[in-house]
Amino acid sequence: MLEYKIYINGEFRNSSDGGRVDAVNPYDRSVFAKLAKSTIADTKSAIQAARNAFDSGIWSDKSREERSAIIKQIADKIKENSALLQELEIKESGSTFKKSKDDMFLTYRAASTFAKLALVDLSEVLPISKEGVSKNIVVHEPVGVVSAIIPWNFPLQMAMWKIAPALAAGCTIVLKPAPETSVSALELAKIIDSTDLPKGVVNIITGDAEVGEEMVTNPLVDKVAFTGSTEIGKKVMSLASGSMKNVTLELGGKSAGIILDDADLDLAVDGSAYAGYFHNGQCCVAGSRLILTNKIYDEVVERLKNKLAKMKIGNPMDKDTDIGPLVSDKQQKRVLEYIEIGKKEGARLVYGGGVPKGFETGCYVEPTLFADVDNDMRIAQEEIFGPVLAVIKAKDENDAIRIANASNFGLAGGVWSKDNDKAMKVARKLKAGTVWVNEWHLLSDSAPFGGYKQSGVGRELGLEGLKAYTETKHIHVDEILDRKKKFWYNVTVPQD
């Protein structure tokens, strides 16, 4: 049985009350590790360690080059340990071998990208004054102590999307992974501990809502970087407002793909299946709605059905498995409930809809396809976060855009067409933070990522994502040293 401790101030500790929690493998519901379960006292202690490390300047006063070199060291060690990290991620989350292999690379890539971005001098001199009058300089300073709270779907990648930009900006951080996927985060703590990063700069604790709420409200914290559901995001925003913390929220989605009539259907059908079913649909940017016009509707639905029949459901450790288990019993129950809701709402169940035969010992759900979905149905409006695709009929291209935008979410979207100009026009009209043309799921660490509407506040990744971990300061250096030439001479100060 594997055992893990929480990581505070450069030390691996048991929880202050000795509490432990099981890590469960959703493939067969077996317990494969025991973890220390953080208390509120542990949470406060981790925040204090991050506060002390920040205030000491041990990290924020380092040069950009020094910070970059240590972030690169973390990236390289992740690469060295990727086989172990991958195995743990598969066990804790049910991620397939193929998906988790990509995750390892993408975790490494995020750290490497921010090692490079750490070198960028974000300061600028503004052209707003004449020579000899004043210099106006804008600098970006680290925001301070960051509370980072992440979900379970891409455990290590999500961790690195918070840790790497926070470090690049000069911040210190307390990270709380989701309870379902804390094992890989605590293994990551060991990797970070083996680098030259000073003690207390990164702290990794466990726990759920109670620990999260302490992280969000604690007065020693300057910024909250949250990724998770819109429901919890709203709570986090409201709690963080008590001390007016800097907040970024990366939340849920109900992203729509539109296949235009002229699309290459071989590409668009495979791509839409990838959009909707990759990682069992447990992706914030999953293409969980697919909008088609009458002309191609029946053909696309038929092709999708055939595609799903060929997907290999299996053990996530097997290299050729396409569909593994969902992350937990809770998630399996949620998805099966939504499938029942879809049936009751009158959507046509074309494929799947239950637990696959032979996989009852794990948290599996068949890839499920609903056609004739009305965009007002709950299965078209609410984030299911499972392998359930809702196909919706549109009258024409404009109607497809209207339907795509008729959602409280606005995280991502996509359009499939052979005509790039036409696709670009549609892409510009979609109210979403990321839009793909003839692609899905590809994100760049150099491009900003985030949501419109209730899919979030702020952006991660790229220079915009780095700036999100800074405060912006304007420094006005006045070059007029003769008081009689000051604009305020004779305004308020009595003159002699």
Give me the residues that bind ligand NAD (CB under 6 A), please. Answer: 149-153, 176, 178-179, 208-209, 212-213, 216, 227-229, 232, 235-236, 250-253, 284, 383, 385, 411, 451, 456
Tokens 């929880």, residue? 15
Q: Which of 250, 366, 383, 397 is catalytic?
A: 250
Smallest gap from residue 339 Cβ to ligand NAD (A): 18
Q: Left (φ > 0), alpha (ψ -120 to 50) or beta: where does 144 sit?
A: left
Q: CA angle, 211 as apex, 210 and 213 as ends, to 5°?
A: 65
**DSSP state letters, 317-345:** TSTT-SB---S-HHHHHHHHHHHHHHHHH
Dist CA 370 CA 346 (whole Å): 10
Q: Which is nearer to ligand NAD, 342 or 450 (CB)?
A: 450
Evaluate the CA torsion angle 35, 36, 39, 45 in order and state its sign: negative
Q: Which is nearer to ligand NAD, 73 or 218 (CB)?
A: 218
φ, ψ for residue 349, nearest 5 deg: -80, 110
Count Cβ atoms below 10 Å from residue 202 Cβ, excluding itself: 32
Q: Which of 171, 283, 284, 363 is catalytic?
A: 284
Dist CA 21 CA 396 (whole Å): 53
Count Cβ atoms below 10 Å from residue 133 Cβ, excluding itself: 13
Smallest gap from residue 192 Cβ to ligand NAD (A): 19
| Active-site residue flag, 250 | yes
C-alpha dist (Å) from residue 297 to 368, 407, 440: 17, 21, 20
Q: Which is nearer to ligand NAD, 25 or 417 (CB)?
A: 25
Smallest gap from residue 150 Cβ to ligand NAD (A): 6
| Active-site residue flag, 363 | no
Q: Which is nearer to ligand NAD, 253 or 413 (CB)?
A: 253
Smallest gap from residue 97 Cβ to ligand NAD (A): 20
Smallest gap from residue 240 Cβ to ligand NAD (A): 9
Q: Which is nearer to ligand NAD, 170 or 448 (CB)?
A: 448
Dist CA 493 CA 76 (whole Å): 60
Q: Which is nearer to ligand NAD, 314 or 325 (CB)?
A: 325
Q: Which is nearer to ligand NAD, 351 or 385 (CB)?
A: 385
Token pair listed for 46: 């981790």
Smallest gap from residue 404 Cβ to ligand NAD (A): 17
All residues at 6 or more sequence positions from 345 whose CB lies less than 8 Å from its CB, including other chains: 374, 377, 378, 379
Indicate the residue whose CB is closest to ligand NAD.
212
CA-based end-to-end distance of the chain: 83
Q: Are 304 and 369 in contact (CB under 8 A)?
A: yes
Smallest gap from residue 140 Cβ to ligand NAD (A): 23
Active site residues: 250, 284
